Amino acid sequence: MNTVLSVITRKNVSPVSVSSGTSVMEALRIMAEKNIGSVVVMDAGNYKEASDYLSRALDSARSTGKTLDFIIPTVEEMLDLAVITNDRPNIQKYRSEILTLQKQYENSFPDLDKQIQTALLQIDGKADAAAPERLSKLEIESLCQAINDQSKQLLNSGYYDRSIEILNSADKLAHAFLDKNAEVQARTLNNLAVSYNLNGHPDKAYEYYKQCVDFVRANMSQQDPFQIKPLIGMANIDSHRNQNDLALAKLREAAKIVNMTMGPKSLPAAKVKVGLAELYTRQGERRLALTELKQAWDIYEKLAEPDPDGKARCAAALAYAQKNLPHFRQALELQESLANKEKSTLVWLLESIGDNYWKNLDSGAAKTAGTDGAKEKAAAYYKRALALAYRVEPRDQARIFEIASYLSNYYLEKNEPLAMVPWFEEKISHDEQILGKNDPVLIENDLALATVYRQARQLPLCEQTLQKALKVAQNNNAGNKGGLELFKVKSALAAVSADSGESEKALQWYGQALVLFEGLNPDERKISSASDFFYRYSSLLDKLKKQDLARELKTNHAEYFGK
């Protein structure tokens, strides 16, 4: 019988362990659960081999019947691979399959929903006291615990609205029936805060965190460790609001409670230290951050019961503070090994490893492989980062454009600029469905795609794409809005017209763009493309022997021409 050792080998991922006699099917089930195996070869750019891993993992995953745990993550990996390899039929196939599976998952808790509705009717006195489905207080307590358990799964899978919905029901039930069970109420309040924060409502989250802390102190004790999580949550929100003094006070308060109740080497102590380190990092106190992180890491390494999620977060914070390839790799491996991965963290880690290879910062592997080898590795990580970033909702548009620019440079150096076209087409297709017709992101998409066509000397396609962007920019410019977008598009149209040899047409576009530029506010004028615009405009004027206009342009906008 084949064993797991003949199927998969992976180093330094301690949360994933199997015995040497594990069967192939069980190994593939573990691969499906942890999304491992495929990621190793995907990072190396071996996409055919990755496809084989994933296909076998998916076959095994389907036999488990566990949609959320095994099947959806594996299909998501297959979608990423289809995007990376521009497999258009499978992109649509897997995207549709994910939507179907997610809908099945959302509707897979009829018993829980029925119990919630029955219990809520009891609050209003509408349930018959003698009805057999009427729930006892003990059953309501179990129901509230089940709701909180289910909420965690929903949050890990991105169903924030659904989590808030069922937790609000648990909150009502706890207030109505469980006045003596403070722990259930406190847990519900904390999970509501987490749900609102993940759903992009930090003010609401802060309100529930505070309610949780106040409730614990009033109904449990002033030093009860249950308030540690909400205190850390409040500190994180304070920190993101740049209220660092408030954040530091809450973290120190949490640390004091930890030391009095759980001990300085406990899991909560490690979580507080990571929170302090993240705060110090934002404040630029790298030395203090590293001290806290190293202490936290030592605690995680020695815990009798591992906390993979907490350790992965600590590793990510260490990677951010150290900014070297070994720490990024370690953080990526830990994040990849989690059953419920933080997708935005994964995107950042993949991009960071790509950056390390691209800039040849790795003192070992990248230099040994040479610059070309390092950039090939960088591209493999950028591709995975970009494919995954397309799946993170809401999309981080700035990060997507940043990764795409790195990948564009890679293809440009290989003299294959058109290889970026499918990436932008995939992005444009999604954004046009999700965003409004006049969203500025659509203009940026078309500008990026037009740049690719221009680099490939596909000038008619470049102009066609820019004309599409022009219509959106003109709509946005109604009522003096969107002037910056319109300037970007018209200056790009001027450049492509000049490249096409249509000098007079280019001159008209440049003139219109200049009028728009002069109407921008000082901050808008700081865009990176301004100097290039003036240089190209003046060069065209010189070429057409319009020296007076060129001198006037340089005099009026001397700051954009350098010395």
* Residue 451 CB partners (closer than 8 Å, separation 6+): 408, 492
pTM value? 0.81
CATH code that applies to domain 435-439+472-563:
1.25.40
What pLDDT, on a 0 to 100 scale, did the predictor assign at position 337? 81
Residue 195 has pLDDT above 60, yes or no: yes
Residue 248 has pLDDT above 50, yes or no: yes
What pLDDT, on a 0 to 100 scale, did the predictor assign at position 133? 63
DSSP 526: G
What pLDDT, on a 0 to 100 scale, did the predictor assign at position 301? 93
Task: Write out pLDDT tens, residues 81-128.
Answer: 889 998 888 888 988 888 888 777 766 666 788 888 888 888 866 555
Which tokens sit at 201? Answer: 């409502």
Residue 138 has pLDDT above 90, yes or no: no
Residues 416-435, mean pLDDT to the nearest whole number: 91
Which tokens sit at 45? Answer: 């750019």
Q: 392, 401, 359, 357: which is closest to 377 by C-alpha?
A: 357
User: Given pLDDT bands bounded at 50, 70 and 90, which one contains residue 274?
Assistant: very high
Amino acid at 130: A
Domain ranges of the chain: 1-108, 158-261, 435-439+472-563
Residue 367 has pLDDT above 50, yes or no: no
Residue 148 has pLDDT above 90, yes or no: yes
What pLDDT, on a 0 to 100 scale, did the predictor assign at position 437? 76
Whole-angstrom CA distances from 223 to 101, 180, 262, 364 are: 44, 19, 11, 49
Q: How many residues does the chain have?
A: 563
Residue 210 has pLDDT above 60, yes or no: yes
What pLDDT, on a 0 to 100 scale, did the predictor assign at position 108? 65
What pLDDT, on a 0 to 100 scale, did the predictor assign at position 9? 35
Q: How far apart are the first and last CA of the chain?
A: 74
User: Given pLDDT bands bounded at 50, 70 and 90, which one contains residue 342?
Assistant: confident
Residue 6 has pLDDT above 60, yes or no: no
What span, in angstroms and rounded, lies between the C-alpha atoms of 450 and 456?
10
What pLDDT, on a 0 to 100 scale, did the predictor assign at position 19? 42
What span, in angstroms and rounded, lies between the C-alpha atoms of 563 and 388?
43
Which class would CATH give 158-261?
A: mainly alpha
Which tokens sit at 58? Answer: 């998916």
Which tokens sit at 460? Answer: 């008619």
Q: Half-sphere exposure (CA, 13 Å, Cβ side) for 549? A: 15
What span, in angstroms and rounded, lies between the C-alpha atoms of 69 and 62?
11
Q: What average pLDDT is seen over the chain? A: 84
What pLDDT, on a 0 to 100 scale, did the predictor assign at position 62? 72
What pLDDT, on a 0 to 100 scale, did the predictor assign at position 103? 77
Percent of the chain with pLDDT over 70: 86
What pLDDT, on a 0 to 100 scale, did the predictor assign at position 34? 54
The whole-angstrom distance between residue 220's C-alpha and the CA centroid of its chain comes to: 37
What pLDDT, on a 0 to 100 scale, did the predictor assign at position 18? 40
In terms of Cβ atoms closer than 10 Å to its own Cβ (0-12, 13-18, 19+), residue 288 is middle
Q: Centre a 10 Å sphere on the Cβ of residue 89 and count the other Cβ atoms it contains.
A: 8
The whole-angstrom distance between residue 216's C-alpha and the CA centroid of its chain comes to: 33
Q: What are phi and psi of 108, to 5 degrees?
A: -100, 15
What pLDDT, on a 0 to 100 scale, did the predictor assign at position 348? 95
Residue 136 has pLDDT above 90, yes or no: no
User: Given pLDDT bands bounded at 50, 70 and 90, which one contains residue 373?
Assistant: confident
Q: Do domains 158-261 and 435-439+472-563 have the same CATH topology?
A: yes
Please tell me the least confidently modeled range out of 367-376, 473-482, 526-535. Answer: 367-376
What pLDDT, on a 0 to 100 scale, did the predictor assign at position 460? 96
Which range of 50-59, 463-472, 482-491 scores highest in mean pLDDT? It is 463-472
What span, in angstroms and rounded, lies between the C-alpha atoms of 104 and 83?
24
Please tell me the least confidently modeled range out of 127-131, 170-174, 384-388, 485-489. Answer: 127-131
Residue 421 has pLDDT above 80, yes or no: yes
Task: Write out pLDDT tens, residues 54-79.
Answer: 887 777 767 766 666 677 777 888 88
Percent of the chain with pLDDT over 90: 52
User: Given pLDDT bands bounded at 50, 70 and 90, which one contains residue 14?
Assistant: very low
What pLDDT, on a 0 to 100 scale, did the predictor assign at position 371? 58
User: Given pLDDT bands bounded at 50, 70 and 90, which one contains residue 372?
Assistant: low
What pLDDT, on a 0 to 100 scale, did the predictor assign at position 368? 47
Residue 493 has pLDDT above 90, yes or no: yes
What pLDDT, on a 0 to 100 scale, did the predictor assign at position 275? 93
What span, in angstroms and rounded, lies between the C-alpha atoms of 548 and 550?
5
